[in-house]
Amino acid sequence: MRDFDPEQEQAFFAAVDRYFDLEKRPNRRYGTHEYTLERMTPLARAAGHPEGELRIVHVAGTKGKGSTAFFLSALLESAGHRCGVFSSPHLATVRERFQIAGDLVSYTDLLDATRRLDRELTAADLTPTLFEFMTLLALRLFVGAGCEFAVLETGIGGTLDATNYVPQKVCTILTPISFDHMELLGDTIAEIAGQKAGILRPGVPAVCAPQPFVEARRVIEDRARELAAPFIPGARRHDSAVAAYSAVQALAPFLQDNFRTALQACDVMEVSPRPEQFRMPQLRARCECVRREPPVVLDGAHNADSAQQLVRALGELFPNTRFVVVLGVVPGKDILGILAPLREVASRFIFTHPLSWRGSALESLEAAAREMGVRYDVRSGLKSVRDVPADKPLLFTGSFFTALIGESLFSPLSEGGRREGI
């Protein structure tokens, strides 16, 4: 897998083993008994308040957060502003969560910073969650690398997310909001959007990407009005602005939309990107083609709206192509909503277990397929390219953890892979 060193990865997770990982306990209500910002105040103090040395851009939403953050960082870099990005989850290596000037942080810097922060928090008798630790670790890494900007992607929600402890921000961005993590954030779009809008700050501009649900935009706009925060609808830029970035025009349509949102944020911050200096970020498992002929595509679509966007993109990027869809979903997702649109691009389905500690919804996936009359095969463990029809177009989706299967089989360091961007 790309940029992955098993010994170094093990060393990192051994160093943070004592921290309770809420990411591994998804079936919890989003409440202050576990998800809270109260711990972040003493933690930030012990860490030396790194957030105070950075210009913070905060990104929340259901889909498109990561790519928007990476695009924004690349645009800021093209304008001469050094930038760090903290994102989640990672596909192959934990270093994907910590990127500086478009590059993954080195294992040496990561492990040094991790052990140093761990010692300081231990001395202060503080025990954060793993995500809280990673949030502070990212900011410390960015300050140490001389970054001016930090783009922070929320983990889950917004209001109670650890990244939201930052009091001062220069811009907030809301990407498209739809149904996901409902067991944590609420059962309606209004409830979910309310949690995401928790990242807004008084007087700080809020860039709102085009929303698939009118209710989401209403909630965000109302919250911005309450805080006297300028509300800037995304995608107001004409295509002529994107035309200067030829590599972006070759991307999936939904990625181009996210790029427009990042451009809008640059306008708000009065930053002038330079197209000739723009370096395309790696967009792993975001409609990513890791083999061209026949195509192998990795995508982390894990809700109905993401699956629909993926199908539209595949129809445009690979017209008249039917894929063997390798589909694995973690529990708690809208399985019918994911499966239904994928039928449009599937020659056949292979159902499997995602490579995840969150478990697998394989039985529910089979039940949904039977209900819909979808034919499928089940292969519970895919460990070699010989376990899939490698001579056919392949799509690995349903979760980043299913995309990881494709990464392990077809990335440059695996037996079947050679990476080519779309």
> pLDDT tens for residues 69-104?
999 999 999 999 999 999 999 999 999 999 999 999
Token code pair at residue 121: 């928090």
Q: By three-state DSSP, how is residue 85 classified?
A: strand
Same domain, yes or no: 328 and 207: no
Would you state the pLDDT for residue 407? 95
Mean of pLDDT values over 348-355? 96
Task: With respect to residue 45, please indicate whether it lies within any of the assigned structural domains.
Answer: yes
Q: Name which of 202, 177, 205, 200 is nearest 190 in CA terms.
A: 177
Domain boundary among 230, 253, 277: 277
Q: What is the pLDDT of residues 144-171, one digit of tens each?
A: 999 999 999 999 889 999 999 999 999 9
Q: Distance (Å, rounded) from C-alpha 333 to C-alpha 300?
A: 13
pLDDT tier at 422, thresholds 50, 70, 90: very low
Task: With respect to residue 1, please indicate whether it lies within any of the assigned structural domains.
Answer: no
pLDDT > 70 in the chain, percent: 92
Asked if 307 and 290 count as a contact pair (C-beta separation under 8 A), the reply is no
Does the pLDDT value for residue 416 go beyond 60? no
- Supply the mean pLDDT for the chain: 92
Q: Tell me the pairing of strands 83-86 and 149-153.
A: parallel
Phi, psi (deg, nearest 5) at residue 377: -115, 155
Would you state the pLDDT for residue 283? 95
Q: Name which of 260, 224, 223, 258 is nearest 239 in CA terms.
A: 260
Q: Distance (Å, rounded) from C-alpha 142 to C-alpha 417?
A: 32
Does the pLDDT value for residue 177 go beyond 50? yes
- Give start and end residues of each alpha helix (H) in 16-167: 40-46, 65-78, 107-123, 130-144
Same domain, yes or no: 271 and 293: no
Would you state the pLDDT for residue 32? 46
Q: For 30-39, 92-101, 265-274, 283-292, which range has the lowest pLDDT when averaged over its residues?
A: 30-39
| Residue 97 DSSP class | G
Contact residues for 246 (Cβ-Cβ < 8 A; gap 6+):
none
Would you state the pLDDT for residue 332? 86
Domain boundary among 215, 245, 277: 277
CATH number of the structural domain spanning residue 358: 3.90.190.20
Amino acid at 395: L
Would you state the pLDDT for residue 324? 98
Asked if 16 and 110 count as a contact pair (C-beta separation under 8 A), the reply is no
Domain boundary among 243, 277, 311: 277
State yes or no: cis peptide before 294, omega within 30 of 0.
Answer: yes
Does the pLDDT value for residue 56 go beyond 90? yes
Task: With respect to residue 422, please indicate whether it lies within any of the assigned structural domains.
Answer: no
Q: Distance (Å, rounded) from C-alpha 331 to C-alpha 328?
A: 10
Asked if 175 and 57 count as a contact pair (C-beta separation under 8 A), the reply is no
Q: What is the pLDDT of residues 110-139, one digit of tens each?
A: 999 999 999 999 999 999 999 999 999 999
Beta strands in 112-261 (DSSP E): 149-153, 171-174, 206-208, 231-233
Would you state the pLDDT for residue 284? 94
Q: Distance (Å, rounded) from C-alpha 24 to C-alpha 358?
A: 6
pLDDT tier at 419, thresholds 50, 70, 90: very low
Domain residues for 111? 6-277
Mean of pLDDT values over 203-209? 98
Same domain, yes or no: 154 and 69: yes
More confident residue, 32 or 295: 295
Q: What is the pLDDT of residues 213-232, one digit of tens each?
A: 999 999 999 999 999 999 99
Q: Which residue has the tokens 């494709």?
A: 406
Does the pLDDT value for residue 254 go beyond 80? yes
Q: What is the pLDDT of residues 290-349, one digit of tens each?
A: 999 999 999 999 999 999 999 999 999 999 999 999 999 999 899 999 999 999 999 999
Same domain, yes or no: 161 and 250: yes
H or E segment and range at residue 327: strand 323-327
Asked if 298 and 310 count as a contact pair (C-beta separation under 8 A), the reply is no
pLDDT tier at 420, thresholds 50, 70, 90: very low
Same domain, yes or no: 268 and 298: no
Same domain, yes or no: 194 and 115: yes
Asked if 335 and 365 count as a contact pair (C-beta separation under 8 A), the reply is yes
The number of folded domains in the chain is: 2
Angle at CA 163, nearest 5°, toward 30 and 201?
95
